[in-house]
Amino acid sequence: METVKVEKLNIFLIVISALASFIFPFELFLFSYIVLGPLHYLTELYWLKERNFFTVKKIEKSILIAASVLIFIASIIGTIWSYIQFLNSTLLSFFAKYYYYGLSFIILFSLAFALFRKEFYSKIDLLKKIIFCLLIASVITSLGEVKLFFAVMVTTLVHVFTFTLLFIWLGALRGNSLYAKISLYLYLSLVALLFLMPTFEPIFELKNGTISLFNASNFNFTHTTFNKLFSGDQDFSYTNSWTIKLQRFIAFAYTYHYLNWFSKVEIIGWHKLESKKIILILAIWVSALSLYFINYTLGFTSLLFLSILHVFMEFPLNGITIKNIFNHYFGKKVNSRSILK
């Protein structure tokens, strides 16, 4: 698909995502997270793998994967701790501390790799980078609000909104296209409108099933964390006007994040994939949907690792994107096809 056509399509997708999230903030989020999410994880992980996850050395990729596995284990234990009687509070505190510490480290390590990228370096250089990131992570873990931001927001809203914004921004810089610039300004403008527009109670009458699924997704905790960090109001209520406005934003961010990815036909290379790989990806996706259909909690827990892995393995690319935007204004100009090939 031609670049201009993709840019026009994305303008349409931004508008549709915003409109749907305004009318059905909770329902749209659940649909996007359950149906579109797993297919996004699978296709993006495959795409990143084909590009060696934008790492230089094999050990860097191994560290990212190992950290993802360990953080996933800590997340599972944290999720089901109330059902495991033999775990005492001291052990649970250890897992919680490790989760925050490990998550901070992997984000810092990925960004450090991207921002200070070298094609060749010694084992001593790598060790210095790891020690530096571990020290900074220990500082972050000791800071309550910063710790919450890294633990909750970076893996959710920062991933789907901020990094998507950076990709749109870089796209506007790369091609200097009118439609790409419209996408950028429209994206930000509609987010503002989702918060500014009033809520209308009759539209937001939620069914018990929707509320149950949303509670099972634990995104009410994301609401609470966002409020604690940015508004000071920790109350969460399905009828609260602020909750509805924030959920509009969350639904929009997740939905457009997925749709934006699927629209990149040339980047993903759907037409170039082997039939066996397409069948495998679709088979896993259908299996994931089946797990959600059987039991939402089972599906959510089963897909949690893929969700965590795809976020973490994208961090090097996120760091490279930040660096290229910075270089555009303050250093080297962006190579138009240096990243998303």
| Structural domain boundaries in the chain | 3-330
Cα–Cα dist 218/334, whole Å = 39
How high is the pLDDT of residue 203?
Answer: 53
How high is the pLDDT of residue 92?
Answer: 54
pLDDT digits (tens, 9 = 90+) for 277-291: 888 889 999 998 998
Cα–Cα distances (Å) from 280 to 42, 44, 104, 177, in that order, read 10, 14, 33, 36
340 pLDDT higher than 60: no
How high is the pLDDT of residue 123?
Answer: 73
Higher pLDDT, 185 or 269: 185
Sign of CA dihedral 303, 106, 221, 254: negative
Closest CA to 157 of 28, 254, 300, 245: 254
Q: Which of 322-326, 330-334, 337-341 has the highest mean pLDDT?
A: 322-326
How high is the pLDDT of residue 189?
Answer: 96
pLDDT digits (tens, 9 = 90+) for 81-124: 544 544 555 555 555 666 777 778 877 877 777 666 665 467 77
The runs of H, that is alpha helices, within the chain are 3-23, 25-31, 37-50, 58-80, 89-115, 123-141, 144-148, 157, 163-175, 178-196, 208-216, 219-226, 241-263, 265-268, 275-294, 296-330
Q: pLDDT-based confidence at 232, cuts 50/70/90? A: low
Give the range among 145-149, 189-193, 244-248 with minimum mean pLDDT: 145-149
How high is the pLDDT of residue 129?
Answer: 80
pTM of the model: 0.85
Q: pLDDT-based confidence at 341, cuts 50/70/90? A: very low
Task: Let me know: does 1 contact 265? Beta carbons within 8 Å.
Answer: yes
Closest CA to 155 of 96, 227, 99: 99
| For residues 173-192, average pLDDT | 90
248 pLDDT higher than 90: yes
Cα–Cα dist 206/112, whole Å = 44
Question: Which of helix, strand or coil describes residue 15?
Answer: helix
Cα–Cα dist 161/154, whole Å = 10
Using alpha carbons only, give the angle 62, 64, 70 rounded to the nearest 5 degrees. 100
49 pLDDT higher than 90: no
**DSSP-derived secondary structure letter, 267:** H
The runs of H, that is alpha helices, within 142-177 are 144-148, 157, 163-175
Give the range among 93-97, 109-113, 151-155, 156-160 with minimum mean pLDDT: 93-97
| For residues 206-226, average pLDDT | 81
Average pLDDT of the chain to the nearest whole number: 80
- The share of the chain scoring above pLDDT 70, in percent, equals 82
Question: Which of helix, strand or coil describes residue 276?
Answer: helix
Two tokens, residue 109: 């390590």
Closest CA to 20 of 33, 35, 34, 32: 32
Place of tokens 């931001």: 149
For residue 221, count other CB atoms closer than 10 A to its CB. Answer: 12
CA atoms within 13 Å, Cβ hemisphere of 60 = 28
Give the range among 38-42, 99-103, 141-145, 269-273 with minimum mean pLDDT: 269-273
For residue 115, count other CB atoms closer than 10 A to its CB. Answer: 12
How high is the pLDDT of residue 323?
Answer: 84
How high is the pLDDT of residue 85?
Answer: 47
Q: What is the largest CA-CA distance in the chain?
A: 63
Task: Let me know: does 249 contact 195? Beta carbons within 8 Å.
Answer: yes
